[in-house]
């Protein structure tokens, strides 16, 4: 697999992320790509020069003081080519929400992180998971009643979405809108995000088909299709 093919795939990936960003949020921030030392992986991160301390994008709300954001979106991905060299795949990702309630006097603190780690596959751990930065006295009681020390809530890996249909950047933005955490969207943003989300689901459906061809053939034949194996 040549470096040129990897660069082309990464450019398409970054372009898609930036299309989502530009459609939804009024921000100068953009996703940028940086190659690893051995050039077999590429790191893609949302960068906003206005808020380097947050390491993400400032989501300036109408309720905030001018130029003093309280809410930040942190998103980064590690991507690589598949073993067959046929498509780009995500090796790891984090999409999270940070908050600064001090008016810029302190560093933003995380609220929630949605993560994916391909390296966790097959090890009994949730490759796609959520970290909640909060407290739960009830959960602490559960651990204590079982004679175990209670871990920090954010240290737990709450499974979500599975390998193929894990949460995406689009779904995270829709979550912010649905829960009224951020409402200063660009006009017409939601239909564009829905279309991007549907395109993601189609890509994941193709990936699932490649992983489980026999099951895909069975499902198609149930619908009345005739599928022939290669060379048949």
- Tens of pLDDT along the chain (232 residues)? 578 899 999 999 999 999 999 999 998 999 999 998 888 899 999 998 766 555 579 898 888 877 788 899 999 999 999 888 888 999 999 999 999 988 888 888 999 999 999 887 766 678 899 999 999 999 899 999 999 998 988 998 888 877 788 889 999 999 999 999 999 999 999 999 999 999 999 999 999 999 899 999 999 999 999 998 887 6
pLDDT of residue 196: 96
* 57: Cβ contacts below 8 Å, ≥ 6 apart: 21, 25, 27, 29, 46, 48, 51, 72, 73, 74, 75
In DSSP notation, 22-51 reads HHHB--S-EEEEEE-TTSSEEEEEEE-GGG
Q: What is the pTM (predicted TM-score) of this model?
A: 0.86
Do 44 and 13 form a contact (C-beta atoms < 8 A)?
yes
Q: What is the pLDDT of residue 124?
A: 65
């Amino acid at each position: 697999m040549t470096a040129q093919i990897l660069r082309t795939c990464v450019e398409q990936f970054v372009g898609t992320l930036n299309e989502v960003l530009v459609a939804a949020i009024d921000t100068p921030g953009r996703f940028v790509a940086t190659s690893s030392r051995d050039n077999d992986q590429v790191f893609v991160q949302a960068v906003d020069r206005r808020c380097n301390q947050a390491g993400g994008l400032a989501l300036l709300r109408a309720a905030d003081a001018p130029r003093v954001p309280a809410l930040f979106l942190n998103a980064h991905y590690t991507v690589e080519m598949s073993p067959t060299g046929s498509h780009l795949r995500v090796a790891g990702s984090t999409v999270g929400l940070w908050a600064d309630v001090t008016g810029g006097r302190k560093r933003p603190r995380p609220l929630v992180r949605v993560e994916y780690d391909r390296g966790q596959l097959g090890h009994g751990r949730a490759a796609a998971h959520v970290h909640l930065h909060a407290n739960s006295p009830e959960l602490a009681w559960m651990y204590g009643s079982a004679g175990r020390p209670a871990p920090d809530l954010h240290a737990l890996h709450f499974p979500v979405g599975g390998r193929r249909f894990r949460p995406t950047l689009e779904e995270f933005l829709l979550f912010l809108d649905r829960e009224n955490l951020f409402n200063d969207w660009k006009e017409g943003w939601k239909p564009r995000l829905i279309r991007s989300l549907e395109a993601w689901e189609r890509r994941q459906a193709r990936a699932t088909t490649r992983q489980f061809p026999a099951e895909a053939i069975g499902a198609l034949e149930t619908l009345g299709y005739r599928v022939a194996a290669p060379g048949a």
